């Protein structure tokens, strides 16, 4: 096995592991690469140095909710999209509105979503979000019927290149994303305006997000490391 003697050697191992990984690698997973028990400051230095090494490249090293990974810089993604044989899946306005409500008000029940949107939520909408890996059941509310509580997943944050819910974009940006979605034929009537639902989702979102973050904070996160 290759002998490691200097920081550059350790960085090359980190680089190789991160480039070969299919999913983001957490700090706990990265620590398995070496016998040396480096402290957090050393790990922070190694990863920050590696990130700077790639600062002028088409890909960048980023820290996400579930760990570290190399990913394409946003400004180059459009070129890579031309190589794809299939167009990205598009979602209905109802699906996007429901996702926005869950993201900003989580954890929420299906009934909460219906109260905000003012229309019944088709089970297919929840199944679509769960199938995409963006939403999951995180518990049940202590109320009659014990309805399921829904929240976004680490995969949802990873695909937005975010480390935590506190980095969610402003609600206006979410509304623009919803408006940019092409219209699809829904399986159930879903025709009410998005504005009122989005505005309701914003109300009290700060407290909801703070509570969720407190419960799901990762023990291996680096405090103070800036996201790219």
Q: What is the pLDDT of residues 105-122, one digit of tens each?
A: 999 999 999 999 999 999
- If we measure between CA atoms, which residue out of 44, 17, 5 comes closest to residue 222? 44
Q: Is the pTM higher than 0.85?
A: no
- Chain segment 53-92, per-residue pLDDT in tens: 999 999 999 999 889 999 999 899 889 888 888 776 778 8
What is the per-residue burial (b if ≥16 Cβ within 10 Å, else e) of 92-106?
A: bbbbbbbbbbbbbbb
Residue 3 pLDDT: 74
Residue 89 pLDDT: 75
- 212 versus 103: which is more confidently predicted? 103
Instruction: Evaluate if residue 128 carries a pLDDT over 70.
Output: yes
Q: CATH number of the domain at 93-216, please?
A: 1.10.10.10
Give the count of beta carbons closer than 10 Å to the beta carbon of residue 165: 21
What gap in Å lies between CA 156 and CA 65, rounded to an integer? 9
Asked if the domains 7-81 and 93-216 are classified in one and the same CATH topology, the answer is yes
Q: Where along the chain do its domains lie?
A: 7-81, 93-216
What percent of the chain has a predicted confidence (pLDDT) above 70? 74
User: What are the tokens at 51?
Assistant: 């990130």
Residue 162 pLDDT: 85
Residue 5 pLDDT: 72
pLDDT class for 140, splitting at 50, 70, 90?
very high
CATH of 7-81, one of 3.40.50.2300, 3.40.50.300, 1.10.10.10, 4.10.910.10: 1.10.10.10
- Chain segment 159-175, per-residue pLDDT in tens: 888 888 888 887 667 66
What gap in Å lies between CA 127 and CA 136, rounded to an integer? 10
Mean local confidence (pLDDT), 174-192:
50
Mean local confidence (pLDDT), 113-135:
92
Residue 174 pLDDT: 65
User: What are the tokens at 161?
Assistant: 């290149």
Instruction: Evaluate if residue 182 carries a pLDDT over 60.
Output: no
What gap in Å lies between CA 8 and CA 14, rounded to an integer? 10
Instruction: Evaluate if residue 197 carries a pLDDT over 80.
Output: no
Evaluate whether 24 touches 66 at the Cβ level (below 8 Å): yes
Q: Compute the mean pLDDT over every residue in the chain, rounded to the nearest whole number.
A: 79
Residue 212 pLDDT: 40
Q: Is the dihedral of CA 53, 55, 56, 61 positive or negative?
A: positive
Residues paired with residue 140 on neighbouring β-strands, in sequence order: 148
């Amino acid at each position: 096995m290759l002998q490691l003697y200097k920081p550059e050697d350790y960085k090359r191992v980190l680089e190789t592991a991160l480039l070969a990984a299919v999913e983001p690698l957490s700090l706990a997973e990265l620590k398995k690469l070496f016998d040396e028990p480096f402290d957090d400051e050393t790990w922070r230095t190694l990863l920050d140095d590696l990130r700077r090494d790639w600062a002028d490249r088409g890909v960048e090293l980023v820290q996400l909710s579930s760990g570290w990974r190399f990913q394409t810089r946003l400004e180059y993604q459009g070129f890579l999209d031309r190589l794809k044989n299939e167009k990205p899946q598009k979602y209905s306005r109802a699906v996007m509105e429901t996702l926005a409500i869950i993201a900003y008000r989580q954890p929420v029940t299906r009934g909460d979503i219906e109260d905000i949107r003012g229309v019944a939520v088709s089970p297919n909408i929840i199944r679509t979000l769960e199938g995409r890996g963006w939403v999951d059941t995180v518990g049940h509310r202590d109320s009659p019927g014990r309805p399921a509580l829904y929240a976004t997943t680490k995969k949802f944050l990873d695909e937005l290149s975010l480390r935590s819910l506190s980095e969610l974009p402003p609600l206006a940006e979410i509304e623009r994303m919803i408006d940019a979605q092409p219209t699809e034929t829904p399986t159930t009537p879903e025709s009410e305006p998005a504005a009122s639902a989005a505005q309701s989702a914003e109300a009290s979102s700060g407290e909801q997000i703070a509570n969720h973050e407190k419960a799901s904070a990762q023990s291996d996160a680096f405090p103070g490391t800036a996201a790219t």
